Amino acid sequence: MPLINPPLTERFRRNKTGEMPPPVKEAFEIRVKFPEGFKSAKATMLTWEPTVESKPLVLKKDGDVASIQFPGLDLCRTLVVEFAK
């Protein structure tokens, strides 16, 4: 799932000032429900901030919910959650 920090002003190529939103520097929690029949999962962050990187993330299972601490967001990063049976 892509996580995008949206622009401060108009959208859809109308951000004429090029103003960027303030980055989210603190880690934040993302919770995802396990699909029916799946018992385990692993999480990975894909990013190009500041360079292209793939980084495994800690995932904690609480019943049928996966809890992931996402390490902040400057502009755009992608969370990949791979579920297994």
pTM, rounded to two decimals: 0.77
3 with 76: CB under 8 angstroms?
yes
Angle at 54 between CA 33 and CA 83, to 5 degrees: 25
CATH architecture of 2-6+25-84: Sandwich (2.60)
Q: Indicate if the pLDDT at residue 15 is higher than 80.
A: no
CA distance 8 to 21: 5
pLDDT tens digit string along 63-75?
A: 999 999 999 988 8
Instruction: Give domain limits for the chain.
Output: 2-6+25-84
Q: Indicate if the pLDDT at residue 9 is higher than 80.
A: no
pLDDT tens digit string along 24-40?
A: 999 999 999 999 999 99
The residues with which 56 forms a beta bridge, in sequence order, are: 44
Where does the pLDDT of residue 22 fall: very low under 50, low under 70, confident under 90, or very high at 90 and above? confident
